[in-house]
Amino acid sequence: MKSFAKWSAASAVAAMMATSASADGHALSGDLVIFSDMSNPAPRAVMEGMVERFGAMHPDLNIELTIIDREAYKTQIRNFLTADAPDVANWYAANRMRPYVDAGLFMDISDLWAEEEFANLASTRGAMTIDGAQYGVPYTYYQWGVYYREDIFAELGLSEPTTWEEELANCQVIVDSGRACYSIGSKFLWTAGGWFDYINMRTNGYDFHASLLAGNESWTSDEVRATFANWRQLIDMGGFIADHQSYSWQEALPFVVEGEATAYLIGNFAVQPLRDAGLTDDQLDFYQFPAINSDVELAEDAPTDTFHIPSGAQNVEAAKEFLRFVVSAENQTIINAGDALGQLPVNSAASVDDDEFLNQGFAMLSSNSPGGVAQFFDRDAPAEMAAIAMEGLQEFMVFPDNLEDILARLEDARGSVY
Amino acid sequence: MADTSIQPGVAARSGRGWYKRNEIAVTPWLFLLPGVLFFAVYVIWPIFQSFQISLYEWDGLDRPVYVALEGAEITDAECDALGPRARGNPGCADSGTTASTAEYVGLDNYRELLGDRNFETSLWNNLKWLILYLLAIPAGLFIALFLNQTVFGIRLYKSMFFFPFVISQIVVGLVFSWFYRPDVGLLPPILAFFGLEGVNVLGDPTLATYGIIAAGLWPQTAYCMILYLTGLNAVDPEQVEAARLDGAKGHKMLWYVIIPQLKPATFIAFVVTIIGALRSFDLISIMTNGGPFGSTRVLSFYMFEKALSEYGFRMGYGAAIAVVLFIIMLFFIGYFLWSMYQDEKGR
């Protein structure tokens, strides 16, 4: 009985402290629990650095950071959002967050987006919006595009293609020299999704692409067939490495390093391992995926990684302050620098680190992507559709003749998923 | 009353506590209790839960429930209907409880299974696993017979043969996928040495499942071998001697004298191999991830993909697959239990 009295007294004091703290406004106190999926070495250091700097700004706040393995996080998030919600959690933009938004597990933070600083994040506002409200903030994104062997292009007398005809002509020269034009590892399927994103956005434009992935266009339509016909041109001429269905994206990197393939359509995250494998900036370069249909505007894939506040958050005030801190220009400059994440800041007032690839990516996304910025195949399409579709895309890359069957299957899935 | 003085033992016995009187009957149950409890909570109960979930369409998420504050003009139901926006409404509060988002669909998940090509592929692959995995039994027997001799260092050889069972299935999967790799693997040069064309085993939808089963047979054979080695220890030397006097030799000796005596070992090997085939998951996950284009899926992997993987949000559908797998397993498990029961009765 005595211990119970003590306990209730203590909790009453704690409750009083909590209320007084929230009344105070600026001096944050209590606990801030953060779950993060930034488990790879560089992102981990970035996350720990952010917590440290935020902690220094708010000395009374006790920050508990839990870093969970990036892959395991994808399944654990379902449990912890329901059962034991942190105050801040990592996740992804666009359709990837829809299940949690629909279940009411992510907090509506439209009030944050109404603040002045958030005007600088306009480029990803759409990706963070579902049904007119915003549910998270971006901390980084990165460009996709063609990373190629500059030295081999020079040796063969090729230049960066800007049209599909140039692209096919280049590829013919490369194939004739005994190499493959493109390396790809499609074992885990999503790399094929990147190819579809680009060829479809270049053939039919961003709006059709977005509408297709949202389930509003048919997979058996002429537009989609045109996309696959263009893709097939590259496949039939031997443009892709053989047996790509057996490799992960990392296992397909050596083909570029050893010069058996001259280029790789991939995200900027591939630059670091390519450099680590010994390619210098004189050997490696970047170009924007060439135009196919001159009637459509260029659009790009730029997957955005985000922070969210779960509905079950206990210390909402501190969580919002943390999100403000995350999106600030100063912080985004620091965390996206070449020695940290090595990616692009979303805040337009932040500065980009002086790196050959980041500069090109930044220029491309800020001035040469008039059609729009997509997230990525498996983030724009609902999860179930993405899984079924990417399997079909991989099959198409290996057996292009199965196209009719694949398209019928996808159209069938469209009927049941949406 | 006179009896009590004549039989003091009875009085003393009836005077003891309830537990002391029933000690013999109760004690085994007390020892069993923790096991039974955990088995019921973590095995039996989830089985029934799977049956139940398979009748629902559910993404595995629970949503927070919002209620109206006392004196507010809004009702509980209205607050709840607002969903997360209820937080912005001064009349509503988070009740701290959650509600499931599941929706009852009856047998719809099972109907969908009937027309699902991936499910069909998974079933066929399960059958391939069941049949081919049984090769581990004769292979294990053969190696056990081969190793059942006393030469210098035999313990070392035995442990070398047993080694694949000790290492994790994940490692076995990795080793075999490297072995098959078309660019740096060992298999292509070996085939080339014999003048055969290189083949991408795990990238070919018609071969990939067999490639994975071959990898699975490696540790499973070692397991069967160790079962048979212990079984061979128990073979009655007098029977062997008698058979030899009667002129039995070679495979006749093996078939009529040794193998009948190994029946218990064969039974256990059969049980573990069948169960092992039906729960094959780790090898598929690590070697092909179900691909290429879903050609190596089995039921357990498909269930995981649909319900729990990165893109899987269909708990109900996953549970329906699990129920089908459970029924298949139940068929075998029922047979095993029945044959064990017959065995016990015969003694």
Structural domain range at position A36: 17-141+303-361
Q: Do B294 and A391 touch (CB under 8 A)?
A: yes
Residue A178 lies in a domain: yes
pLDDT at B68: 82
Query: Burial of B150 by CB count in 10 Å (0-12 exposed, 13-18 middle, 19+ buried)?
Result: exposed
Q: Do A246 and B203 touch (CB under 8 A)?
A: yes
Spell out where chain B has E strands: 56-57, 62-68, 92-100, 103-104
Ranges of chain B whose pLDDT falls below 70: 1-15, 84-85, 87-88, 347
Is residue B139 within 8 Å of residue B217, measured between CB atoms?
yes
Same domain, A232 and A274: yes
Is residue B63 within 8 Å of residue B103, measured between CB atoms?
no
| Token pair recorded at residue A67 | 């870093």
> Which residue of A108, A242, A247 is in closest CB contact with B84?
A108
CB-defined contacts A:B, below 8 A: 95
Same domain, A243 and A180: yes
Residue of B nearest to A394 (CA): B293
d(CA A364, CA A358): 10
Same domain, A48 and A81: yes
Is residue A168 within 8 Å of residue A291, measured between CB atoms?
no
Distance from CA of A373 to the nearest CA of B (A): 22
Residue of B nearest to A416 (CA): B112
> Which residue of A99, A243, A245 is in closest CB contact with B59?
A99
pLDDT at B347: 67
Residue of A nearest to B308 (CA): A75
A158, amino acid identity: L
**A75 lies within 8 A of chain B by CB:** yes
Same domain, A268 and A406: yes
Chain A CB contacts of B61 below 8 Å: 78, 81-82, 99-100, 103, 105
- Show pLDDT as tens, one digit a residue, over chain A (418 residues): 344 444 444 444 444 444 434 444 467 888 999 999 998 888 999 999 999 999 999 999 999 999 999 888 988 898 899 888 999 999 998 888 988 998 889 999 999 999 988 988 888 888 899 888 999 999 999 999 999 999 999 999 999 999 999 999 999 999 999 999 999 999 999 999 999 999 999 999 999 999 999 999 999 999 999 999 999 999 999 999 999 999 999 999 999 999 999 999 999 989 989 999 999 999 999 999 999 999 999 999 999 999 999 988 989 999 999 999 999 999 999 999 888 888 999 988 888 888 889 999 988 988 888 888 899 999 999 988 999 999 999 999 999 999 999 999 999 999 988 8
Same domain, A285 and A404: yes
Which domains does chain B carry?
15-53 (no CATH), 63-100 (no CATH), 108-346 (1.10.3720.10)
Same domain, A125 and A188: no
d(CA B144, CA B147): 5
Residue A163 maps to which CATH number?
3.40.190.10
Residue A84 lies in a domain: yes
pLDDT at B298: 95
Backbone phi and psi for residue B343, each to the nearest 5 degrees, phi listed first:
-65, -45
Q: Do B291 and A416 touch (CB under 8 A)?
A: no
Is residue B87 within 8 Å of residue A128, measured between CB atoms?
no
> What angle do the packed helices B315-346 and B299-307 form, to 10 degrees?
150
Residue A1 lies in a domain: no
pLDDT tens figures, B269-286: 999 999 999 888 999 999
Helices marked H in A283-370: 316-327, 329-335, 356-367
Is residue A155 within 8 Å of residue A277, measured between CB atoms?
no
- Rounded to the nearest integer, the mean pLDDT of chain B is 88
Residue A369 lies in a domain: no
β A88-92/A129-130 pair status: unpaired
Residue A231 lies in a domain: yes
pLDDT tens figures, A224-268: 999 999 999 999 999 999 999 999 999 999 999 999 999 999 999
Indicate the SS3 state at residue A261: strand
Same domain, A266 and A406: yes
Residue A376 lies in a domain: no
Chain A CB contacts of B293 below 8 Å: 245, 391-392, 394-395, 398
Give the number of other CB atoms < 10 A from CB of residue A44. Answer: 15
Same domain, A79 and A177: no
Residue A12 lies in a domain: no
β A180-183/A133-134 pair status: unpaired
Q: What is the ipTM of this complex?
A: 0.82
pLDDT at B7: 52
Is residue A191 within 8 Å of residue A249, measured between CB atoms?
yes
B12, amino acid identity: A
Nearest Cα to Cα of residue B87 among B77, B99, B95? B95
Structural domain ending residue among the three candidates A330, A361, A392: A361
Same domain, A199 and A268: yes
What is each CA distance from B3 to A381, B6, B15, B21, B37, in whole angstroms? 88, 5, 15, 20, 45
Is residue A299 within 8 Å of residue A291, measured between CB atoms?
no
Q: Tell me which residues of chain A, numbers 284 to 323, contact chain B at a CB-CB cutoff of 8 Å.
A: 311-312
Nearest Cα to Cα of residue A292 among A371, A366, A360? A371
Chain A CB contacts of B94 below 8 Å: 311-312
Q: How many domains does chain A have?
A: 2
Same domain, A353 and A240: no
Same domain, A252 and A355: no
Residue A98 lies in a domain: yes
Same domain, A254 and A149: yes
